[in-house]
Amino acid sequence: MLISPESLFKDGLLNESDLNVCMLPETGQVDFEKTEEMKQRLLNKAYQLFKSSKDENLVNEYNLFCKTEQNWLTDFSVYSRIKRYYGGKEWFNWPEKFKLKDNQTIIDFEKSNQAEIEEIKWNQFIFYRQWYRLKEYANAKGIAMIGDRPFYLDYGSVEVWTHRENFLLDKNGNRTEVAAVPPDYFNEKGQLWGMPIYNWEKMKKDGFKWWGNRLKKSQQIYDLIRLDHFRAFSTYWQVAAGNDDAVEGRWKPGVGTTFFKSMKRKLGKLPFIAEDLGEITTDVEQLRKRFRLPGMKVLQFAFGEDLAGSVHIPHQFDSPDFIVYTGTHDNNTSLGWFKNETDANLKKRLSKYVGTEVNENNINSILIRLCYASIAKIAIIPIQDILHLDETARMNIPGKATGNWAWRADKEFIGEKTITWLKAETERYGR
């Protein structure tokens, strides 16, 4: 997150000594991602200003936020304070009474840490206040926000600590079964994600109340919601806790039709995109179609030996109810893919398909045009592909636990030439 220092000086949140700690000399900007400590100091200063300013309108707005969001905000704030109190340890490594959320222990902790908990609530208030302003601005410009909603939750998350009954945990809060996917395109040993499996039987009994609240909130934050790992609503791969990889697992039936009928009653029109990549079976496809959810097509998957019949090749798109991508956040950049993950035969098939020799100089423009020219309802192009960046700008490697999500676009990342080209392509294909 890059912010101009002038605004911080103006509000009294920075002084020169602060600036020396976190200034990026090459840009003259402040990079708060380099130091969590600096970010917390600034938030604390802003909070103190809020308390001393006696801005009645802002105070009323904050109080309304706390009341409206109380079903998650209190638990989140208490959890965050306890985690900070215990040096950032995950909840399952806290002392027993905190780990298992003993009622009196939590009440006593809230009383003795009330000021810190209130500040955490205020931080959330400011975040959502800024986010909704950004969303309003974007929507006014004709830009919709698409949010990514993971299927599973991290074991150390506030949701698992708060609602242990919704997950397959033993009486001590330990995982009994964990989430995974079997061996696939990305990993020969599968992907052992390690998140706890949902207690679907319990969730069914209360009409998927927790999921309903989760997706209602997502509906407020985003215009469309991408349901990651959609296939798990139909069937999911479950591995015993303690296994070293995802090879020895088993398929379990999901909650599919029952779940989406319930969500339709709660949410109205379902604002979902189904992430239906990987080994997709007929039942997964039928579930997606039954509830008219757009799926995903990825051109990097389209040019294998099965090109003529590939579900990802544009001439096989049988309806506009899809989102087409050059590649997703889990793929290499298109240039990185072409350089490092294709062989001579694939390059030959790709060249014959588009009617011209494909090389490192034109691969990006060719794939982008295939996306734009397709009948898919929406075309999504990663900014790295628009900028013609190689594998060093890759966002994520599935199955790799560290080193992901590190790439950032700098302030001057896009020039007039690229803007002009992209505008022309967008207009040419009616996007």
**Residue 279 annotated in active site:** no
A 10 A CB-CB count for 366 gives: 21
pLDDT, position 5 = 45
Which one from 18, 177, 275, 385 is the annotated catalytic residue?
Answer: 275
pLDDT, position 6 = 46
Within 8 A by CB and 6+ apart from 387, the residues are: 393, 409, 413, 414, 418
Consecutive H or E run containing 226: strand 224-227
pLDDT, position 3 = 44
**Residues found in the chain:** 431
The single residue listed with the structure tokens 């890059």 is 2
Taking the CA atoms of the chain, what radius of gyration do you get in angstroms? 24
In the chain, domain spans: 1-53, 55-143
Consecutive H or E run containing 204: helix 200-205
- Residues of the chain below pLDDT 50: 1-6, 9, 27-30, 32
pLDDT, position 15 = 57
pLDDT, position 18 = 55
pLDDT, position 47 = 93
Question: For 200-239, how does the pLDDT look when each residue is reduced to its tens digit (9 = 90+)?
Answer: 999 999 999 999 999 999 999 999 999 999 999 999 999 9
pLDDT, position 398 = 83
**Residue 75 annotated in active site:** no
Say what the pTM is: 0.85
**Residue 228 annotated in active site:** yes
Comparing C-alpha atoms, which of 307, 296, 299 is closest to residue 334?
Answer: 299
Distance CA 46, CA 49 (A): 5
pLDDT, position 26 = 55
Which one from 119, 276, 330, 385 is the annotated catalytic residue?
Answer: 330
User: What HEC string does 279-329 produce?
Assistant: CCCHHHHHHHHHCCCCEEEEHHHCCCCCHHHCCCCHHHCCCCCEEEECCCC
Six-digit token string for 347: 């390059």
Which one from 69, 228, 245, 390 is the annotated catalytic residue?
Answer: 228
